[in-house]
Amino acid sequence: MKRIIFALLLTMPFFLMAQKKEEKKLENQIRQYFFVMLTAGPDRGQDSVTAAKIQEGHMANINRLYQEGKLKVAGPFGDDGKWIGLFIFDCPNKEEVEKLLETDPAVKSGRLNYEIHPWWTSAVGSFSVGKPKKSQE
């Protein structure tokens, strides 16, 4: 019995290392997310009180979607360009993303429009595609 326990204790670190290595491989698998570009909508003429209320609802919706695990990244751009902000959704299909976007008060009110694009990456945000090629200068 002592030999069996000793053998188990001896092999345990190798088993755990193999398990961690397998988990790391799974983290680096490429999978589909949905990249949503938020653009200015056709109806941005609300008074400041109404616009502030819409923005408050927009932020509450972002927090809800994040807590549900559907929204992975959200944020505004810092310039006055055509792009207002972006979302990255973790959903099985484009139709679910569209339904979630329609729950956003800024989209419902016409303050924001959106473009949805399937986007591929790993769960950790980067992946290895092999050794980089040497430049031919």
pTM: 0.70
Q: pLDDT tens digits, the chain, 137 residues: what are they? A: 556 655 555 665 555 555 555 555 555 688 999 999 999 999 999 999 999 999 999 999 999 999 999 999 999 999 988 899 999 999 999 999 999 999 999 999 999 999 999 999 887 755 555 444 454 54
The CA distances from residue 10 to 3, 13, 16, 22, 62, in Å, are: 10, 7, 11, 20, 49
Cα–Cα distance for residue pair 97/30, rounded to 1 Å? 19
Supply 46's token pair: 């609300």
- Three-state SS for 63? helix
Supply 104's token pair: 């956003």
- Which strand (E) or helix (H) includes residue 56? helix 48-67
Cα–Cα distance for residue pair 50/134, rounded to 1 Å? 56
